[in-house]
Amino acid sequence: MSHRQILEALTGLLLGMFVAILSSTIVSNALPTILTDLEGGESAYTWVVTSTLLATTATTPIWGKLADLTSKKLLVQIAIVIYVAGSAVAGLSQNIGELIAARTFQGIGVGGLTALTQVIMAAMIAPRERGRYSGYLGAVFAVATVSGPLIGGVIVDTSWLGWRWCFYVGVPIAAIALVVLQRTLKLPVIRRKVKIDYLGATLITAAVSLLLIWVSLGGNQFDWLSWPTAVMVPGALVLGLLFVFAETRASEPIIPLALFRNRTVALATVASLFVGVALFGATVFLSQYFQIARGESPTVSGLLTLPMIGGLFLSSTISGRIITTTGRWKRFLVAGAFLTTAGFALMGTARAETPYWRLALFMALIGVGLGMTMQNLVLAVQNTVKTSELGTSSSTVAFFRSLGGAVGVSALGAVLGHRVSDYLASGLAAIGVKAGSGGGDALPDLDTLPAPVRTVVMDAYGHGAGDVFLVAAPFALLAFVAVLFIREVALRTTTGDTPAATPASPSVSASAVGGPDAAAEPIDRAVDTGSARVAIDGVAVQPADEEADRQPVPAAVLTAPETEAVPADAVPAGAAPRRTRHHPGRHEAGRHEATRRGARRKAEHDRS
């Protein structure tokens, strides 16, 4: 595909990816208002986010596997339709249960968009060129991340709109993406028998769901050391082992275990898991920090995250272009993971009264690090697997990142709840107020609190949020350790399975048709009609005599030898090598022989 064609198709993909990210970020600043309206508490806050991540996580590998078996274009369109339906139902929710259910359905579509965007990009663009286009994806991620809280804040602060429009606003954008993809996305139609691993899909969904329910409800609905824990943790472990066993027996496994024999895939998967924990688990609570610990409005809270988003935007774009130019990518993974770790560790010092300029610097470090890490982990994996495994491998990385995010949101949400409760209890006791009158599961409304209690609540949430960031830092450090051991492999310049074109065999070498430089030339220019021996169908033919050698040879008898591949330097960057094959049948060979006899008779006639 040409650069223009890629950009046209990429527009639809990026619009779809934009609404997928928007669905998560737009509610971050609006959630306190939504939960107040629907009478939800801190656990509901976590579940509104976790439900989407759960559905996204469980379905991502299924979407990826289907992408290897059937039409990628049809799949991404189905994902958009599911997203639109889920968004509409979420906007109509009348209670917190309906909202969580709608967000779960919405997450199925988000899982498809998340997995398929990377897969389709890999199908269209060679790894060496993909760095530049991955920069566009990183830019969209940054814009959606920063605009989501801003849009959500403006919607909530606008009385005639209301929080329900946080879910409606993505519907027209998704519709535009659907139309654009229908008109511009042109991919080869895969005709493989679709075999869905239903058992594997069921087991992995059940295992992930049970794990996330445990980390979400533990410490709130039941104690960590209680009979529900004794049932859920072993149950999730058993289901996970059954999934692994089922994958070894399935003809088309959801996650082929053989992928993990690839060192790059294994380490990138581990790194993605821990990046997901740090990214989703910590940044989702930024809005709570700014709104409750610092008393800012939803709109201002969105603006205050600009340093992180700006860092992500710049680093993903710039690193993508440099990778396209140099073909080197590991340095960005290592630097990105290190900066992410440092940023979270520094954010661990955040308190309600921390100067904003310091927070801005720490958030910028996190953004720069994430921008160099997330997309390049996928790029590294796609560069080392076969074309037939692009969907599965890409979705596997995305699956573990989403899994880490879902676990991170739930686990770190529990950490925040416990730390805030502890700080509230001690703070309220210090001013002579019983904890029961100021604590609880519901999010506090600062405007209704007396000044002394308000100060205690703000300090508690500020300190609790800092603890969450500090807990996220070791997970980012584990990602850093994983990327250190990833072996750098030169980026391919084609979308095929081999990094370079296959050299032609000696019998059909370029020298037979005019030298090595002739391989990239048109056939009629590549053949030297004045040479003593003319290559016809790859066979050297001796003219009848010296005089006949000087006679012009009819163009019809000059046929290019079979050429298996064009040298890589003759192929435009990002394009698949153009193959030219000529397999003459018996009738065609007979015509050539008759032509040769005619040429000899003509030469003898001219000599006589």
Q: Would you tell me how many other CB atoms lie within 10 Å of the CB of residue 325?
A: 11
- Rounded distance between C-alpha atoms, residue 555 and residue 534, angstroms: 11
- Rounded distance between C-alpha atoms, residue 284 and residue 278, angstroms: 10
pLDDT at 282: 66
Contacts (Cβ under 8 Å, ≥6 apart) of 309: 142, 143, 145, 146, 367
CB 396, CB 66: distance < 8 Å: no
Helix or strand run (H / E) with residue 42: helix 42-69
Give the mean pLDDT of 87-93: 91
Give the mean pLDDT of 532-546: 38
Of 107, 6, 129, 118, nearest to 47 by C-alpha is 107
Residue 512 vs residue 98, higher pLDDT: 98
Q: Determine what percent of the chain is predicted with pLDDT higher than 90.
A: 28
Q: Would you tell me how many other CB atoms lie within 10 Å of the CB of residue 176?
A: 14
**What's the token pair of residue 454?**
């308000």
User: Which residues are paired to 541 by β-bridges?
Assistant: 534
One-letter amino acid at 553 equals V
Give the mean pLDDT of 234-250: 93
CB 380, CB 264: distance < 8 Å: yes
> What sign has the CA pseudo-torsion 469, 475, 478, 480?
negative
- Helical residues (DSSP H) of 289-445, grouped into ranges: 298-304, 306-326, 330-347, 356-382, 390-430
Q: Which residue has the tokens 């910590």?
A: 282
Q: How far is CA 364 from CA 21, 281, 344, 358, 405, in A?
A: 20, 17, 11, 10, 20
Q: How far is CA 337 from the centre of its chain?
A: 17
Contacts (Cβ under 8 Å, ≥6 apart) of 158: none
Q: Give the relative orientation of helices 330-347 and 306-326 as an angle to the nearest 10 degrees.
A: 170
pLDDT at 138: 76
Residue 180 vs residue 538, higher pLDDT: 180
Helix or strand run (H / E) with residue 540: strand 539-541
Of 166, 28, 17, 19, nearest to 90 by C-alpha is 166
For the cut 60, the answer to whether the pLDDT of residue 514 exceeds it is no
pLDDT at 265: 93
> What sign has the CA pseudo-torsion 213, 214, 219, 222?
positive
For the chain, helix (H) and strand (E) counts, in that order, are 21, 2
Which of the four pLDDT bands, split at 50, 70 and 90, describes residue 595?
low
Q: Determine what percent of the chain is predicted with pLDDT higher than 70.
A: 77
**pLDDT tens track for 121-170:** 888 888 878 777 877 887 787 778 767 877 888 888 887 888 899 999 98
For the cut 50, the answer to whether the pLDDT of residue 11 exceeds it is yes
Give the mean pLDDT of 201-227: 81
Residue 588 vs residue 87, higher pLDDT: 87
Chain-wide mean pLDDT for the chain? 78
Q: Which residue has the tokens 């005619």?
A: 598
pLDDT at 97: 87
Of 392-396, 411-415, 579-583, the range with the lowest mean pLDDT is 579-583
**pLDDT tens track for 184-207:** 988 876 666 667 788 988 898 889
**pLDDT tens track for 278-296:** 877 667 788 789 989 999 8
pLDDT at 446: 82
pLDDT at 546: 38
- Residue 483: is it exposed, middle or buried by C-beta count within 10 angstroms (0-12/13-18/19+)? buried
CB 149, CB 25: distance < 8 Å: yes
**pLDDT tens track for 426-435:** 998 888 887 6
CB 73, CB 178: distance < 8 Å: no
CB 337, CB 480: distance < 8 Å: yes
CB 337, CB 479: distance < 8 Å: yes
Q: DSSP character for 536?
A: E
**pLDDT tens track for 289-328:** 998 999 988 778 878 888 988 898 889 889 988 988 888 8
Which of the four pLDDT bands, split at 50, 70 and 90, describes residue 560?
very low
For the cut 80, the answer to whether the pLDDT of residue 567 exceeds it is no
For the cut 70, the answer to whether the pLDDT of residue 69 exceeds it is yes
CB 280, CB 57: distance < 8 Å: no
One-letter amino acid at 240 equals G
Which of the four pLDDT bands, split at 50, 70 and 90, describes residue 597?
low
Q: Which residue has the tokens 């759960």?
A: 54
pTM of the model: 0.71
- Rounded distance between C-alpha atoms, residue 519 and residue 578, angstroms: 11
Phi, psi of 158 (to 5 degrees): -95, 110
